[in-house]
Amino acid sequence: MQARQGAAIKKMISSVIFDLDGTLTKTPSPWQYVHERLGVWENTACNYLEEWLSGKMSYDEFCRRDASLWNGRSVDEIHSYLDEIEWNRHVPAVVQSLVEARIPSVIISSGFKYVARKIQSQCGWAPLQIYANELVDGPTVQINVSGDFNNPLSKKALAERALASMGSSMAESLVVSDTTRDLEQLCDCGYKLHVVEEDDLLRVKDYI
pLDDT at 139: 87
Give residue-wise pLDDT tens across range 152-172: 999 999 999 999 999 999 999
pLDDT at 137: 82
- Per-residue HEC secondary structure of 124-143 comes to CCCCEEEEEEEEECCCEEEC
pLDDT at 194: 98
DSSP state of 63: H
Give residue-wise pLDDT tens across range 86-138: 999 999 999 999 999 999 999 999 999 999 999 999 999 999 999 999 998 87
Q: What is the pTM assigned to this prediction?
A: 0.91
Q: Which residues of 129-160 are buried (b: 16+ CB within 10 A; e: fewer)?
A: bbbbbebeeebbbebbbbbeeebebbbbbbbe
Going along the chain from its start, the domains and CATH numbers come out as: 2-27+86-207 (3.40.50.1000)
Q: How far is CA 4 from CA 9, 14, 44, in A?
A: 9, 20, 61
In three-state secondary structure terms, 153 is coil
- Which amino acid, one-letter code, is at 143? I
Q: Please, how many CA atoms are within 13 Å of residue 108, restricted to the half-sphere of its CB?
A: 26
Give residue-wise pLDDT tens across range 167-190: 999 999 999 999 999 999 999 999
Give residue-wise pLDDT tens across range 129-151: 999 999 988 788 899 999 888 89
